[in-house]
Amino acid sequence: MANPVIELKDVWKTYEMGNNQINALKDVSLRIDKGEFVAVVGPSGSGKTTLMNLIGCLDLPTKGNILLNGKDITKLSESTLANLRGRSIGFIFQQFNLIPTLTALENVTLPMMFQGINPALRLETGTSLLAKFGLKDRINHKPNELSGGQSQRVAISRSLANNPDLILADEPTGNLDSKTGLEVMDFLTEIHKNEGKTIVLVTHDLDLVHQAERVIYLKDGSIEKITKRG
């Protein structure tokens, strides 16, 4: 059997709103294996963002367990979890989330600095990643000197910096025109097929999910159905 990168077991996420309790996720169980390309879709309010935050180990469940590479994140200290998350998960966001005062190269190498990677290796890896995504001539440019597509390619490069087990892409084409968005999806597909990366794509755009092997449909905080493709 394949090894699960992330596994959710009977997970609930409940928020207190005054005297009311809102169940953003209800009894969700989900396993994502190494090397899979999974899409999570659903309308606004379906629980996509909450599920993304839990899969990304950015938040903890109210009830249930989440295992990242076999480790139950609910039982880890904050610093241990932050270190494990930094090594294991790469993030690509709709808003790019690049630091405006840093160059493209500095943005890409920042996650490696947090993991204690030596400067020479950080420089070599960052330069190689940016060149791979066609940004060799942009390594010293800051985000305001880059187009949207270039910024997202920097973000993809950054997500790969620590060679993570899982790439979590949250609406990665949301701020891009359709042509550039398709190019970004092609990059993600290439990473999956050529490097065997596990990818979770969170999107409301059903036109993007044809790249995925499994599609998870959320509705009202629960998994409505899971379909397999290909």
Residues contacting residue 115 through CB under 8 Å, at least 6 positions apart: 83, 86, 87, 162
> CB–CB of 137/104 below 8 Å?
no
Q: What is the pLDDT of residues 210-221, one digit of tens each?
A: 889 999 999 999
* CATH class label, 35-60+75-228: alpha beta
Q: What percent of the chain has pLDDT over 90?
A: 83
Mean pLDDT of 156-180: 92
pLDDT at residue 13 is higher than 90: yes
Mean pLDDT of 77-95: 93
Q: Which residue has the tokens 């070599």?
A: 124
- From 15, 31, 52, 98, select the one nearest 204 (Cα to Cα): 52
Residues contacting residue 20 through CB under 8 Å, at least 6 positions apart: none
Spans of all domains in the chain: 35-60+75-228
> CB–CB of 109/165 below 8 Å?
no
